[in-house]
Amino acid sequence: MKNFSHIKSKLKAKLASNELTLGSWLTIPHQSIVEIMSSAGFEWLTIDIEHSAIDFQTTQNLIGHIQANDMEALVRVSKNDEVVIKRVMDAGANGVIVPMVKDANEARDAVAFTKYPPFGKRGVGLSRAQHYGIGFESYKKWVQEESVVIVQIEHISAVENLAEILDVEGIDGIIVGPYDLSASMGKPGMFDDDDVKEVLKRIDKITLEKKKPLGFHVIDSDHLKMIEKIDKRYSLLAFSLDFFFLGDKAREEMSLLRSKL
């Protein structure tokens, strides 16, 4: 049995050099979706267990399918919680995306929950990630050097503390959560609002000045929306998600079909 979590992370290397990396989001818990998404050329998929019904057992199965299809498996955890992060990492995830990180202390917690002592404080167990016991020594080295920790900037408090968050050792990059960020300003989903646009510009400016990977989850399945972010020097980009790709294409083709009838 090959232990995919011990392979050197291409994503980690790209983040370290601020090189563009493209992934997507997974909410439909089925092997077929993973295999279809892999044929599109994504480098990584994020399993969303914050806003989906995906449980831990299914998460581990999906991690295995993602890695078996030559992509890296990230998990957007439900919260910045020691047990939740430990369980998805033990399941063999290449890394985590941690939601609603508001300050440097919370960012340090995210790293500590992912890494073993002495750098972190993650509890030690033997599961898939550790090759069920026989790969613990190699995994111990891997998790320190290759595991990925991304924090989501999705609250106005996080923007105020962004410089300090970016300085936390072990944080590989950030992803902006535009819906929750705008909601924390009392303007949920109002992305054309001047105040929301100004806050997004502040995030861009601070992150680029710190020379850290700037990430965004572009929900729209239109590739032109991705180009807009690339032109703004975003380098960690999640392109839409499984049900948007499926739904948008189905609606588009049915609309075209009906227009011909």
Listed in order, strand segments (DSSP E) in the chain are: 21-26, 44-48, 72-76, 95-98, 148-153, 173-176, 214-218, 236-241
CA dihedral 69, 72, 73, 75 (to 10 degrees): -160
Are 240 and 221 spatial neighbours (Cβ–Cβ below 8 Å)?
yes
- Torsion sign over Cα 217, 100, 206, 110: negative
Listed in order, strand segments (DSSP E) in 51-110 are: 72-76, 95-98
Distances, alpha carbon 145 to alpha carbons 7, 22, 113, in Å: 11, 21, 15
Q: Which of 6, 30, 51, 65 is catalytic?
A: 51
Q: Which of 13, 67, 59, 36 is nearest to 241 (CA)?
A: 36
d(CA 109, CA 96): 13
DSSP 133: G
Residue 223 annotated among the catalytic residues of the structure: no
Residue 171's H or E segment, with its range, is none
Are 185 and 225 spatial neighbours (Cβ–Cβ below 8 Å)?
no
Which are the catalytic amino acids? 51
